[in-house]
Structure 1
Amino acid sequence: MDLKDVLAMEVPKAALKYIAQTNELKPGGTSIEHYADVLVHSPKTIDIAKVLARQYRYAGRTAVNLFIPTSGISRDWNNPKYFKAEMEKKYGPDIFTDGVKPQLTEEPKLIRIHEDGSRYILTFSYLGKPRRVLDNYEIVKRRPQLIDFVLIHFEPFMIEIRTPMQDTKKFKSAVLKAMGITKSTFEEEVTWEQITKLTDKEALELAIILRAKLRNAKHQMLEGIYATKEVTASPTVKDLSKEEEYLKEFKDIPCKKRVFNFLFEHSYGLKEDISYQITDQGLNFITPVSEEVISFVLDKIIQIRKKAWGSGSENFPKTGT
């Protein structure tokens, strides 16, 4: 995929438009394709266009959940050189270049690994649910070929899963299978600590650090006829967590989901509102986000979770993931 296509398919229009306007460039139209085209063909913006492509290609509107193994994985995997050697041994050197083409099923299979600084980005592909489409005006069923990403971090070894939250377990298994780690490999089963699974208190602490405003909340009711209650702030309310009416009804009731907004200034100058969701399953970005945003938020979560990790914090992931 060339640079223009990556920009048009992966980068939000607001980011492309901001760069074009900042550099006084006039695209041939108002579509995202027009903005992508003018950025890649101008000497003033070709470098920032490449940065934007790298920032968004594997990110976007996605769940982002970080796991660190607590048992069942050898310390050898902490070393990126060991990881690369094992992957090349199993899949061949093409896995790091052109990729491989396994027979696809509903189970995610590794097709390519991209080296990105001190981390590796694993691309998995699998077949989606059958869909009815027209083929020469005949109704047929086709199964789309889907892709999702898992990032591997080292020292310590961690996996960052960027898939829908309901698929997290499936992709943890897919990573282990790609590494050749099965239940029969070790006597001890692999167990994980989910860094991005926050308590109610930790979710609110994160919001304070980010200066985020609570926009939506779904609570698990402890009594009465409702299993859950979900509330959304009206347009005139900036932050539900500061409203006396909300606090009076929900202050001590467990929360299954919260949606927050916070203002983020990108390194290239654009300021935008970022919406993220914290659930009992982890972290999900509602706004299409860049690697910069993901790293920023994960950094804050890691700082918070270090307190819960306690005496073992020397083995906890470093900030600036």
Structure 2
Amino acid sequence: MGFFLEALFGGLMAGMLYSLIALGFVLIYKASGVFNFAQGAMVLFAALAMARFSTWIPEWTGIESKTLANVIAFVLAMAVMVVVAWLIEKLALGRLVNQEGITLLMATLGIAYVLDGVGQTIFGSDIYSIDVGMPKEPMFLMEGVFPGGVLINQEDLVASLVAAALVIVLSLFFQKTPTGRALRAVADDHQAAQSIGIPLGRIWVIVWSVAGFAALVAGIIWGSKLGVQFSLSLVALKALPVVILGGLTSVPGAIIGGLVIGVGEKLSEIYLGPFFGGGIEIWFAYVLALMFLLVRPQGMFGEKIIDRV
């Protein structure tokens, strides 16, 4: 039982991190109605900015406090992501208003390659580390209940709590604020939103900035765990099954989908791996997503699209 709980907790914590990346996909889709292929590149770009600024700030200013240097680096990295959002709106999306969804999709694919190239040109292509003081030592829980207790990685625990807090805040932002309602209106119909006075360009800058913030937090967490390197952008691929399960239009769906994927891949690797030769954790999420596409394409919490003629 202790081993099962250990795997369960590990899956839940990994699932929250998947949800954090999936949140960026959901945010962009809810505001523009297009799947954002650039989210993985945004995670890499934000992580590179954070890693390099946290190194450059002490060199530029002589600040010795690592905490203060990290805070300044975070603010600068977030400012960079806002500038990126503004440039994306001015140079790409603002010129494609009311175009077909496939046009916007291809635009985000191009943005992904631009961010990958520009990020490595400005910040470098080496493997960098991010140290924001997250505890890395494991801890044991319920030692009096199970022999040896349940092993929990403190870094994963802190990261999952941060991810959960951000998901809750963004859920409230979408549901309770006028800007959140405007974002949903823009996603439903660009022309109708413009006709009632919603500034489409400003809304897109806001939502890409918020998605950039989510990418920055995800980049810091994953960069702290894995190091900041080009392969970090591939972590976003694990978020694809999450949004397929949860639904592209549902913030709560990103949470539930992430938890299902995280727990499912951990338990399947442990209990089904011996029968299939291992490696299930790599492909489990994609097979589950494929099954959902065949049965319920809109996901568990997504809105069913009904075409009227």
Instruction: State TM-score, norm by structure 1.
Output: 0.25
Structure (1/2) with the larger helix percentage? 2
- Higher RCO structure (Cα 8 Å, ≥6 apart): 2
Structure (1/2) with the larger strand percentage? 1
Instruction: State TM-score, norm by structure 2.
Output: 0.26
